[in-house]
Amino acid sequence: MILFFAIGSIVFVAFLGYFFLYKNQQKDIINLETDWQKFLKAKSNNDIKGIKDYGNLQVYNKYLR
């Protein structure tokens, strides 16, 4: 009985990890274009904080082509 509980718990945690990684991937893909537009707007307004913030979002987005 304990063995089934342990295996079930491991499978459940693995499923939750996969689910949250998948959601994070989808969020990054969706926000890529909006973050780029916000970066360009901050650049044209010479907004240093905005350039730093949106530039970091672009650099660390692994779906940037």
pLDDT of residue 21: 92
Is 38 part of a structural domain of the chain? Answer: yes
Instruction: Provide the pLDDT confidence category of residue 19 given band limits of 50, 70 and 90.
Output: very high
This prediction has a pTM of 0.58
**43 Cβ partners below 8 Å, 6+ apart?**
51
Is 6 part of a structural domain of the chain? Answer: no
- Taking residues 48-54, report their average pLDDT: 89
Instruction: Provide the pLDDT confidence category of residue 20 given band limits of 50, 70 and 90.
Output: very high
Q: What residue numbers bound the domain in which 26 lies? A: 12-59
Is 55 part of a structural domain of the chain? Answer: yes
- Taking residues 14-23, report their average pLDDT: 94
Is 46 part of a structural domain of the chain? Answer: yes
The residue behind tokens 């530039």 is 55
Is 19 part of a structural domain of the chain? Answer: yes
- Counting the structural domains of the chain, the total is 1
Measure CA 62 to chain center.
9
Instruction: Provide the pLDDT confidence category of residue 25 given band limits of 50, 70 and 90.
Output: confident
